[in-house]
Structure 1
Amino acid sequence: MVSWEYPTTKETLYSCEVPTAPIRLTTIVEADAKLKPMANIEYLDLQINPVGCPVGKYGLLCHKTCICKNGARCHGFNGACKCPPGWNGVACDIPKQDVSITTTPSDPRDIYISANVTFHCKTHHVDVVYLSVILPNKAEKVGFGVNETGFVVPNIQPTNNGPYTCQVRDTRGNTLNTTFVLKVTNCAPDTKGARCDEVCGCLQGASCDRWAGCVCPPGWTGTRCQTKCPHGTYGQDCAMNCACQNGATCDKNDGRCECEAGWYGMDCSKPCNNGRFGWRCRQICACKNNATCSNVDGSCACVTPWTGRDCDQWQTSRDEPLLESLVPLGSLVLLVAIVMTILYKTGILACSAPDTGDEDKILFELRRMEQDLAQSLQPGWLGRWEKKIRHLTPGPLIGEGMFGLVRKGNLRTPEGELAVAAKTARVEDSQSYRDFYREAAILVAVHQQRDGDCRESNIVRLVGLITKSAEKYILLEYAPKGDLLGFLRRIINVNEDGLLGSLLGYAVHIARALQELERLRIAHRDVAARNVLITADDVAKLADFGLARDVYAANQYVRCNRPGVDELLPLKWMALESIETGEYTCQSDVWSFGVLLWEITTLGKDPCYDGRMQLSFLQMVGILRQGIRLEKPPGCPEDLYRLMRSCWRDVADSRPTPEEIVERLLQLRRALLPHDVIEMETVV
């Protein structure tokens, strides 16, 4: 680390620039005092500690004198005075009728739930008739002929929050007032919980959040921050993956790499330059006669005919007869290559069995994620759905996200042109690659299961796959009415009779889709109104099995902070066990379905827990563990909200099954809609 202090009386501008190219250090390593390159520096820490001017001084060089009076504060750069209550003017030397309110403690950040706070009301240059204090509950405390008063609020609770107003009437009949808004939401240090009666006991200097508990500093995890980050992770909540290579040690705080012998660079991916080896590449190789030197330990790989530790000893060759045997062998290899080329060009080898390498690779990835899904796929599942890229005519863009696009397109089929939704992904991104093939595999598995079944499915219909081209597509049926979330938010006549009963028809459709997935033992992972499509026949279909997190607004998804996982997740739709452990089941989909019911009832509002729109993983877990759930929407029938709450039970097995949900929703619809309306609707 380098630091310096440079006092001056001149106005001088200093600037620091970090070079784009690595900084090369040199040091003397030989007796002839020649400078040899040693290492590269590829990152730089810059710490700046600004120091303000002394009291009564201001300006760039603190050489000007403040003119402020009566305890006014002086701006450090331009000398402007910030007057205290009761004073006015450029120098704060003109009396002003005023009233002020202050608190003890004076810093609002030091006022906690269950603590005491004292309010001080004071008049300045006023002939007082009476001084009153108006509390948030409209109660009033009045003092006659006094210039100041104080009162204590003991054992502060959220019910004490609100405006506290000091009001004064003078002898001329004028009224002055000022207000302090008390908004206490935090517990005292090292306490948490709804009543702030639980002890955090955080270690490593961690802060204590009222709902989430200990918020660990970088490099630590655990309920009390007692555990160092697991191997391969670092940073806040151990959410970052170490990039260190070749056995390097990763700093748990900032992820910097301590390279092993023979390597250097930010991620220790660069071997020592030729002629050097060892820790930080400080040692010089002794290999001779064009031998290759190991960057790790300096051992020499000799070239013929040299041998010995430093490749400086001549070895007599006894391998001349080998040449005689290699000549006929080379001729044979050349002959075989010529024959294979002729066979390929004549088409004999061109019609061999299709390559199953891609399918095997994808199955391997799927087994890592979901064993049941991989086992449900029949051999050749990918090839049977393959379409030709030349038969697809991509049209306008109808969806766009971080990793993929959705276009309306036309597919040429033997029956004619077919409108499709063509989903694509940039498969060079590993997460997008997995999501793409996971969605394809689920849709194939669902359609395999339904072969010969004439009933319509409530899962979006798969038309085909295009995987043999550079740009890969999943081809789905086109839903002209768009997604359910947009449909809900476009509703104008919110007071229409039977509106809720009609909308619950879509919920019945999605519950039946969950029944299908339950039979296949497949979890959707993102059941939400934005992932439901409405067809031309007014049927709701569940979609977006893999790419949903990439094609919608970022505020609905939160970056995962579990070690070794880097993906965006729909936090406010996720079950408690999914947030805590990353476990997804059909029961966790039921939790998400409960949130979808809440979306339908509120006509597409964003879920809001405890009055907060944005929550971290730890905060969400803390809130759900406290038993806090989404509030009952206005106008929501009690039976419907009871169904939502049953979907949000802590114990997954105690939640209703999709079959039970369908039955309860049908009962609710019968109570909300006339019988003839239900009979006329499309049955799916």
Structure 2
Amino acid sequence: MGTYCNEGCLPGWYGNDCASQCICENNSTCDTKDGTCTCKEATCGKYCDSKCECYEEQHFVCEETTGLCRCEGSRFQADSTGYSFDIFLFAVIGIASAAIALFACLVCLAHGLRRHRQGFKTIVDTEFDSYVEELLREHPDLEEWILKRKDIKVQKEIGFGEFGRIELAELQRRDGTVTAALKSLMTKLRHYLPISYRDFCHEIACLKKLQGHPNIIYLLGIVVSGDPKYIIVEYAARGDLLNYVRELRNRGITRPEEERLLGMARDITLALQHMEENKFIHRDIACRNVLIMEDYVAKIGDFGLSRDIYETGQYCKDLWSPIHGPLPLKWTPPEFLQGGVYDTKGDIWSYGVLLWEIATLGETPFTNVPTSEMTTFFLDRQRLYQSERCTNSLYNIMLRCWQLKPIARPNARELTNELEELSRLYERFFNDIVPEQFEIEDW
């Protein structure tokens, strides 16, 4: 289903790669694309979490979205026998009494909701503040990156997720105004997870520690007070790599575009090399998390799932649990699926899947392999297929990244050298380059 033939989501999940969990209540149904709740009878509200209390015998119908009672007709009709005035009088008295009672109820309800929201906001803000305090305690120099909200002028939304959105903005700095991307976290959401606060603060720490590398997105600042909270990074004018390669699918690959893709693949290995040297693992290396700058330089731009392996020694062992949120299983190495073990060689496995995404121009991996059978699939020495447009040179690199034993996989520096060698030897990256796009060279 969908534009790119995504798998259908299981009940209760929705969105891109079915990664978002439905939060509709009272047995209501959830739209598999955007999570919109469709309420059943006698329920209403954005999440179908309120009960409608309309009197059916008086022909009132409950509005699903607002919960208001809408009149569908009147059971009593005035006639010419003298009862019209009495009915009118009773109606006026009844409406006045109902209005007074409704006003009193609304006052009480508003007071109760205000107290409830204040209490909820206090709990949420306190919890988030504790993460921020820990972050600043471990990285005191981050104080310099804290910006004022008045220095940010939001332009438009360019992406969204379950707990926030990505927005384009103008950032006012001492050296002038720069275009930036805002990654927000909304703490006022009704359904929140503490995991989102932890990952938000952890991403700030990752970007700060890896700051300065030309192939890792540059941190410009943070806003941690008020709502929403912001991570402010440089703006990638050409979007993410997944959408970029899918756009190429429609118009065919030319030699200049092939060389750009080869350069972007090499850029990512340089970022991986920098993370290896700093003892970092990312856990979500995929085309969707690679951003492309105006000059076609590729940068890794999402560290929400990354983990510093100094926290637990040489390996990061983290058994899968709903507490940790959705994991990118189709990009995850077999040693994690089997035993929860993940090190830097796990990112190399994911990088092989990223190369496959490039070679297929944005297809989704393992579309015909159930999640429950993926470990068996790998242990049986099965791998993602070689697409028609993928050259043997490129596919051989992928197969080396998909060695079952992590120690047998290349490191990031070796991958960089191999891609540079392909470029130096003028090796083909794709089999179906448009012929008329080749330039005729002199002898």
Query: Could you say which TM-score interval applies, normalised by the shorter chain?
Result: 0.5 to 0.7
1:566 shift after superposition: 4.3
Q: Give distance in 1, aligned partners of 2:232 and 2:281.
A: 21
Change (3 A) 1:575 1:363: farther
Q: Give distance in 2, aligned partners of 1:474 and 1:464.
A: 6
CA contact 1:432–1:547 (8 Å) conserved in 2: no
- AA matched with 1:436: F
Change (3 A) 1:415 1:497: closer
- AA matched with 1:479: A
Q: Which ranges of structure 2 fall in alignment gaps of 5 or more residues?
A: 1-128, 307-317, 429-443
Deviation track 1:117-160 (CA, whole Å, cap 9, x = no partner) reads xxxxxxxxxxxxxxxxxxxxxxxxxxxxxxxxxxxxxxxxxxxx
Tell me what 2:338 maps to: 580
Tell me what 1:672 maps to: 426
Q: Give distance in 1, aligned partners of 2:260 and 2:321.
A: 44
Match of 2:411 among 657, 665, 668: 657
Deviation track 1:37-93 (CA, whole Å, cap 9, x = no partner) reads xxxxxxxxxxxxxxxxxxxxxxxxxxxxxxxxxxxxxxxxxxxxxxxxxxxxxxxxx
CA contact 2:146–2:221 (8 Å) conserved in 1: yes
Tell me what 2:286 maps to: 528
Match of 1:623 among 364, 377, 381: 377
Tell me what 2:194 maps to: 430
Is 1:439 aligned to residue 203 of structure 2?
yes
CA contact 1:404–1:547 (8 Å) conserved in 2: no
CA contact 2:132–2:224 (8 Å) conserved in 1: no
Superposition TM-score, scaled by structure 1 size: 0.39
Secondary structure, counterpart of 1:490 in structure 2: helix
Q: Give distance in 2, aligned partners of 1:496 and 1:542.
A: 25
Match of 1:487 among 225, 233, 244: 244
Match of 2:354 among 576, 581, 596: 596
Tell me what 1:326 maps to: none
Change (3 A) 1:471 1:512: same
1:673 shift after superposition: 6.2
Change (3 A) 1:484 1:535: same
Matches within 5 A, 1:534-545: 534-545=292-303
CA contact 1:602–1:633 (8 Å) conserved in 2: yes
Superposition TM-score, scaled by structure 2 size: 0.60
CA contact 1:501–1:668 (8 Å) conserved in 2: no
Tell me what 1:470 maps to: 227
Match of 1:546 among 291, 298, 304: 304
Tell me what 2:36 maps to: none
Is 1:411 aligned to residue 411 of structure 2?
no
Is 1:393 aligned to residue 150 of structure 2?
no
CA contact 1:498–1:672 (8 Å) conserved in 2: no
Matches within 5 A, 1:155-174: none
Q: Give distance in 1, aligned partners of 2:172 and 2:305.
A: 25
Change (3 A) 1:469 1:666: same
Deviation track 1:432-482 (CA, whole Å, cap 9, x = no partner) reads 1111111110000112xx4xxxxx510001101111223210000001110
- AA matched with 1:651: K
RMSD between aligned residues: 2.4
Q: Which ranges of structure 1 fall in alignment gaps of 5 or more residues?
A: 1-355, 365-376, 451-455, 549-559, 675-684
Change (3 A) 1:519 1:527: same
- AA matched with 1:490: E
Q: Give distance in 2, aligned partners of 1:486 and 1:505.
A: 17
Structure (1 or 2) with the greater helix fraction = 2
Secondary structure, counterpart of 1:650 in structure 2: coil
Change (3 A) 1:670 1:406: same
Change (3 A) 1:467 1:633: same
- Identify the range of structure 1 (599-608 vs 490-499) with the bigger mean alpha-carbon deviation: 490-499
Q: Give distance in 2, aligned partners of 1:620 and 1:561.
A: 16
Secondary structure, counterpart of 2:209 in structure 1: helix
CA contact 2:286–2:331 (8 Å) conserved in 1: yes
Match of 2:215 among 436, 439, 458: 458
Deviation track 1:570-592 (CA, whole Å, cap 9, x = no partner) reads 11111111222333321111100
Q: Give distance in 2, aligned partners of 1:413 and 1:360.
A: 25
Matches within 5 A, 1:304-383: 359-362=132-135, 379-383=139-143
CA contact 2:146–2:224 (8 Å) conserved in 1: yes
Higher relative contact order (CA closer than 8 Å, sequence separation 6+): 2
Q: Give distance in 2, aligned partners of 1:489 and 1:660.
A: 28
Q: Give distance in 1, aligned partners of 2:259 and 2:299.
A: 18
Deviation track 1:583-619 (CA, whole Å, cap 9, x = no partner) reads 332111110000111111111111126xx0x622x31
Structure (1 or 2) with the greater strand fraction = 1
Q: Give distance in 1, aligned partners of 2:350 and 2:136.
A: 27
Q: Give distance in 2, aligned partners of 1:598 and 1:415.
A: 42
